[in-house]
Amino acid sequence: MVGAPVTATLPATWYADEAVLAAERERIFARAWQWVGRIDQLPQPGAFFAAEAGHVPVVVTRGRDDVLRAFVNVCRHRGHLVAEGEGCRGTLQCPYHAWTYDLDGRLRRAPRSEHEPDFDPAEWSLLPVAVDRWGPLVFVNPDPDAAPLAETLGELPDLLAGAGVDMGVLAFRRRVEWSQAANWKVGIENYLECYHCAVAHPGLSKVIDVAYGAYQLDAHPTFSVQRGPLKDGAAPWDTGGQVSRAQWQWLWPNLTINVEPGPQNLSVDLWLPDGAGRLRGVTDYFFGPDCADADAEAIIAFSQQTGAEDQGLVESVQRGLASGMVSHGRLLESSERLVAHFQRMVRDALA
């Protein structure tokens, strides 16, 4: 995009071209911290769960020594995925030929390898990746030498604490899996502006002031934050609750974090590329222990409604971009600053 005006969007081809996705895998997803699951999925030593960091299958373990570790979830024998789902078995056994790994990644047993004179199990450990956590959220970076997660999070934990969110008390309540016929960036970009809210989200616009000037967009080096003042009588939210405001965060590259006013609550959405023109999503909802089921359900229903309204938008954008007939669009800096920020980061990563 050399020479393109700063308000130009990324080229439309970047949303439909498998070669661009291949570059994103290498330059973005193979080296970024990504949310993969929850600490409650590892309730005791010996537990594990399988997940994906972008295109990289990973397995997160809690060893018998109680240490959190993560590995590329690919068998060193011939590449079958080693672990599936989650559980507590003390070892990981590949279902193909039963190579068995310790939860610290070491190959413990490879049937018939005793007949191979030069077979050294120490050379065939699972490949380690970086792992860390923030409250109940577990993150993995496929790059084992990655800088600490805290560097990517930056001031984000402080900003959530400032809104009244206590990561220490949040407990998982519900997972929702979803998919969209859209490039992962289309999904993120739609999340990053509320220019469309007045038109597309009548329910949200009734309770949040989405007007120009009222709605706040703040870009940080690795994340961004949106805040919309609540309108008076903003049901379904309890504006006198522990969390004082609605705040929507995006964290590089593909995690969004939603905080609604009222009881202790937080939800995270993961936007996983599934080919250039599709994405798979996972949303986990967390609430404080004293949040009544009815209040939790109201927050979940409200967010699901907004998500359903967005689905048609992003899928239509994908069809438009994939037509190849319009080379790029034009961003409004005042209302789409965070989209521009995201696109700048993608452009820099791929440069």
> Does 106 participate in binding ligand FES (rule CB under 6 A)?
no
Closest contact distance (angstroms) between CB of 334 and Fe ion is: 18
Q: CA–CA separation, 284 vs 266, rounded Å?
A: 9
What b/e sequence results for 134-155 when a residue is b if at least 16 CB atoms lie within 10 Å of its CB, and e otherwise?
bbbbbbbbbeeebeebeebbee
> Does 97 participate in binding ligand FES (rule CB under 6 A)?
yes
Region from 7-15, 76-84, 197-205, 234-242 binding ligand FES, contact rule CB under 6 A: 76-84
What b/e sequence results for 315-339 when a residue is b if at least 16 CB atoms lie within 10 Å of its CB, and e otherwise?
bebbeebbeeeeebbebeeebbbbb
> Does 310 participate in binding Fe ion (rule CB under 5 A)?
yes
Q: CA–CA separation, 335 vs 223, rounded Å?
A: 17
Listed in sequence order, the residues at least 6 apart from 113 whose beta carbon sits closer than 8 Å to its beta carbon are 119, 121
**Nearest partner of 333 among 3, 2, 9, 4, judged by Cα:** 9
Concatenated DSSP letters of 221-242: SSEEEEE-PBPTT-TTS-TTSS
List 94, 149, 186, 243, residue binding ligand FES (CB under 6 A)? 94
List 10, 47, 51, 75, residue binding ligand FES (CB under 6 A)? 75
Region from 7-15, 215-223, 259-267, 302-310 binding Fe ion, contact rule CB under 5 A: 302-310
Q: Which is nearer to Fe ion, 128 or 312 (CB)?
A: 312
Closest contact distance (angstroms) between CB of 80 and ligand FES is: 4
Closest contact distance (angstroms) between CB of 87 and ligand FES is: 17
**Nearest partner of 304 among 331, 278, 285, judged by Cα:** 285
Q: Which is nearer to Fe ion, 310 or 336 (CB)?
A: 310
CB 86 within 8 A of CB 49: yes
List 7, 22, 43, 78, residue binding ligand FES (CB under 6 A)? 78
**For residue 350, how many other CB atoms are within 10 A of its CB?**
14
The residue count for binding ligand FES (CB under 6 A) is: 10
Q: CA–CA separation, 295 vs 274, rounded Å?
A: 33
Beta strand 265-273 with 68-72: parallel, antiparallel or unpaired? unpaired
Task: Give the x/- contact pattern for ligand FES in 27-66, rule: CB under 6 A.
Answer: ----------------------------------------
> Does 77 participate in binding ligand FES (rule CB under 6 A)?
yes
> Does 119 participate in binding ligand FES (rule CB under 6 A)?
no
Closest contact distance (angstroms) between CB of 299 and Fe ion is: 16
> Does 174 participate in binding ligand FES (rule CB under 6 A)?
no
310 makes contact, choosing from ligand FES, Fe ion, none, with CB < 5 to 8 Å by partner type, with Fe ion
List 4, 19, 80, 308, residue binding ligand FES (CB under 6 A)? 80
The residue count for binding Fe ion (CB under 5 A) is: 1
| DSSP character at residue 209 | -
Helix or strand (DSSP H, E) at 134? strand 128-134
Radius of gyration of the chain (CA): 22
> Does 96 participate in binding ligand FES (rule CB under 6 A)?
yes
Q: Applying CB under 5 A, which residues contact Fe ion?
A: 310
Q: Applying CB under 6 A, which residues contact ligand FES?
A: 75, 77-80, 94, 96-99
